Amino acid sequence: MDGNAAQLNATPPAALATSGSSKGDVVKQLAALGGGDGSIFSQLLNNPFFTAGFGLAGLGAALRYGSRGAQQIGALVRRRMLVDLEITRHDKSYDWVLNWMTAQYQTRLGTPRAGTMERVIRRFMPGLHHLQIETSTLKSASGTEKTAFSLVPGHGKHILRYRNAFIAVNRERVDRNFDAMGKPFETVRLTTLYSNRHIFEDIVQEAYKMAVQSTEGKTVVFTSQNMSWQASGQPKRRRPFDSVVLEKGLAEGVLSDVHEFLDARTWYLDRGIPYRRGYLLYGPPGTGKTSFVQALAGELDFNIAMLSLSQRGLTDDLLNHLLLNVPPRTIVLLEDADAAFSNRRQTESDGYSGANVTYSGLLNALDGVASAEERVVFMTTNHIDRLDDALIRPGRVDMTVHLDNATEWQMEKLWDRFYTEQDPSGDGKRRFLQRAASAGLPGNVSTAALQGLFLYNKADIEGAIGMVGQLRSAATGKSQVSAAKRDPVTGT
């Protein structure tokens, strides 16, 4: 009652008097003056400061959840419509894809004629946005060096078109992570429409074919760097198998044995025999041990992984690791097998005592529990007497081949390789062999020395015959060459 009285007292009398309404109308007017239903919610809604703040908060929430929804919708659309392919530097296909991208870019530039739509696409969507230069030095047979420059895709985002499908490429470097070779960790991400996902397989296949074509007809020589095999320089042209002249039937016998081993993989596995084959080539220097392995690799279409057991820093663990990770279709060449033991007994001025490979470490790497299978290993040595019998046994060395100085048969074959065109009648060869026999060259001179003599006298039959005596002097360690004409056979 007191409240109602207060409201009545607060109401101007003139307003009530002039209303001319009944008592019920007055009550309604009083209720309207009290804010309708009189609730707190109604009062808050009538407050302009509250409604402004509530509106801003609602707008912020709507924007926030709307942004999240848009992101989720975008991610859903991306999952449904786009597909990614990520390739890391550690994968073999990394360099293949980069070279493929470079070839695609060069192909586009080398096509001058294009339609209107093609020109528009090239103008507004260039293939590679960031380029990186690679410099390589090539050495010719004459010894001169030529520098070649090539552009490869750099770090950043690129757009390519392959078979009318657009591909977004992002090559990025992951922070400052480096691998064991000191190379930064990188990735290449290819993105395209989900409907075009099958082109990824075609791209990798095409990139692989390009890589194979770049080494077709060549032999890649791997050397050990840190903890892995790395290609040493440019691939070498395959050496013809008959370019290395060994004793009659010797090269063919080794080739036949390797072929038989490669074809007998199932036979080895069915009988639980470790599938590996070891060969030992021994003999005087210059008899063609390393050259024969190179020619054999070319004939088999294999590469070569070359390792010297006297190499500094080579330990038992590293040797075993390298042999366990030999690239496929690769012959392992362990040179100077005796140096791993003889050098260890000597101490140099800097305190280094030779190779760190132990005798037991070499044996375990060749034929141990943790040794690798499916490999062909060739070892060379000039001093077979320094090797232990435990090394030269089946399972470690399955075939021992002696490469001695040139016989008369080898001299004849070498002559034919160099002078067939200049000596069709064979008279020069007959005189050369007679003079070589009278000088006692057969069995006393290496094939490398004979080849050096023939190279020095290219297309000069009489010069080669006339220098037989000097070749004999080189074999006996006596130089009889005049100062006016330097002889590469003797090296003076």
* Average pLDDT for the chain: 76
227-241, 244-258, 354-368: the lowest-pLDDT one = 354-368
Domain ranges in the chain are 84-214, 231-396, 408-476
Between residues 364 and 277, which one has the greater pLDDT?
A: 277
Mean pLDDT, range 52-68, rounded to an integer: 69
Between residues 387 and 69, which one has the greater pLDDT?
A: 387
Q: In DSSP terms, which residues pair with 229 in a beta bridge?
A: 224
Mean pLDDT, range 355-367, rounded to an integer: 78
- What distance in Å separates the CA atoms of residue 467 and residue 488, rounded to the nearest whole number? 11
Cβ(26)–Cβ(19) below 8 Å: yes
What residues have CB less than 8 Å from 248, skipping those under 6 apart? Answer: 409
DSSP-H helix ranges across 246-358: 250-262, 265-270, 289-300, 316-324, 339-342
Q: How confident is the model at residue 9 (pLDDT cuts 50, 70, 90)?
A: very low
Q: Report CA 481 to chain centroid distance, whole Å.
A: 48
Q: How confident is the model at residue 485 (pLDDT cuts 50, 70, 90)?
A: very low
pTM of the full predicted structure?
A: 0.69
Share of the chain above pLDDT 90, in %: 20
218-222, 343-347, 427-431: the lowest-pLDDT one = 343-347
Q: How confident is the model at residue 480 (pLDDT cuts 50, 70, 90)?
A: very low
What tokens appear for 182 in the block? Answer: 């000191």
- What distance in Å separates the CA atoms of residue 356 and residue 462, rounded to the nearest whole number? 51
19-28, 131-140, 154-163: the lowest-pLDDT one = 19-28
Cβ(84)–Cβ(181) below 8 Å: no
Burial 48-82 (b: 16+ CB within 10 A, else e): eeeeeeeeeeeeeeeeeeeeeeeeeeeeeeeeeee
Q: With residue 419 as reference, give the H or E element that holds it.
A: helix 408-419
pLDDT score recorded for residue 153: 76
pLDDT score recorded for residue 17: 43
pLDDT higher than 90, residue 281: yes
Pairing of strands 330-335, 303-308: parallel
Altogether, the residues listed in the chain come to a count of 492
Between residues 29 and 335, which one has the greater pLDDT?
A: 335
What residues have CB less than 8 Å from 470, skipping those under 6 apart? Answer: 480, 481, 487, 489, 490
Give the tens place of pLDDT for each residue, 441-478.
888 888 998 998 999 888 889 998 888 888 776 665 54
pLDDT higher than 80, residue 342: no
What tokens appear for 127 in the block? Answer: 């293939």
Tell me which range, 89-103, 126-140, 339-353, 399-413, is most confidently predicted by mean pLDDT. Answer: 399-413
pLDDT score recorded for residue 144: 61
pLDDT higher than 70, residue 489: no
pLDDT score recorded for residue 158: 82
What residues have CB less than 8 Å from 327, skipping those under 6 apart? Answer: 222, 229, 303, 305
Mean pLDDT, range 129-149, rounded to an integer: 64
Cβ(298)–Cβ(205) below 8 Å: no
Q: How confident is the model at residue 121 (pLDDT cuts 50, 70, 90)?
A: low
pLDDT score recorded for residue 230: 83
Question: For 231-396, which CATH class?
Answer: alpha beta
pLDDT score recorded for residue 305: 93
37-41, 79-83, 239-243, 408-412: the lowest-pLDDT one = 37-41
Give the tens place of pLDDT for each residue, 371-409.
677 889 999 998 888 888 888 888 889 999 999 999 999
Q: How confident is the model at residue 177 (pLDDT cuts 50, 70, 90)?
A: low
DSSP-H helix ranges across 12-145: 13-19, 23-33, 40-45, 48-81, 93-109, 116-124
Residue 327 DSSP class? P
